[in-house]
Amino acid sequence: MKTRNAFVETADADVMLRVKWGSESAFAELYRRYYRKLLDFFYGMSRDTQLAEDLCHETFLRVWQLRLRYAVTGSFAGYLFTVARNIWLERWRVVQREWRWRAAAPVESAAFEALAPAPPDELAHRAEIGEHVFMALDALPEEQRMAFVLRMIEGLSLEDIARIMQCPVNTVRSRRLVAITRLREALRGLFVL
């Protein structure tokens, strides 16, 4: 398992070196590999599909702009998500303002939901659970939420997350543990086993 991961990381670094020399096809390969993961990260943080896509494209554009400064110092995933985190922190205030605006306009939201077609039971149940999950995530502090969301992305180790969040590994562990404890308390009623 470790050998395969190491090979994947080496391959990513090689591909990025080709991007550094100006290869668009290599950049397309990186896009194919990491688009979904970046999209999930931004969606988990913003809870907005369109905003997640915009931020994802912005991240790739910035990687393309900064390609000549890239140096192989760690995993490429860590490098990419560090750029993504910086972009997210730049947009965080705007997103917060938008969330406050949404919270201040409950009538329009309720009217919009009433007009939307009712999904089948299974989808409704999933949507309800997703709503609970996001409500519980919204109650978390920013750093705990980011540690939790990043760990949910496949392929990111705790060391990568520590490098992305610029904090020690034990801090990532404790943030994630606190986040999971709070989520369990918030979601305990949904899982009657």
Separation CA 44–CA 148 (nearest Å) = 9
Binding residue (CB under 8 A) for other proteins from 23, 133, 155, 171: 133
The region, left, alpha or beta by phi > 0 then psi within -120 to 50, assigned to residue 192 is beta
- Kindly tell me which of 105 and 135 has the beta carbon lying closer to other proteins: 135
Q: C-alpha distances in angstroms, 149 versus 42, 84, 140, 175, 183?
A: 9, 13, 11, 11, 12
Instruction: Please identify, among the stretches 72-80, 87-95, 108-116, 144-152, the one whose residues bind other proteins according to the rule CB under 8 A.
Output: 144-152
- Kindly tell me which of 105 and 125 has the beta carbon lying closer to other proteins: 125
**Residue 13: count of CB within 10 angstroms of its CB:** 17
Residue 149 sits in the site that holds other proteins (CB under 8 A): yes
Binding residue (CB under 8 A) for other proteins from 53, 72, 99, 171: 53
Separation CA 30–CA 16 (nearest Å) = 8
Cβ contact 74:166 at 8 Å: no
Binding residue (CB under 8 A) for other proteins from 52, 77, 84, 162: 52
| Nearest distance from C-beta of residue 96 to other proteins, angstroms | 19
Separation CA 184–CA 171 (nearest Å) = 20
The two structure tokens encoding residue 116: 């939307």
100 to 129: interface string for other proteins, x by CB under 8 A: --------------------------x--x
Judged by DSSP in three states, 100 sits in helix
Residue 158 sits in the site that holds other proteins (CB under 8 A): yes
- Positions in the binding site for other proteins (CB under 8 A): 24, 27-28, 31-32, 35-36, 39-40, 43-44, 49, 52-53, 57, 60-61, 64-69, 126, 129-130, 133-134, 137, 148-149, 151-152, 158, 173, 176-177, 180, 183-184, 187-188, 190-191, 193
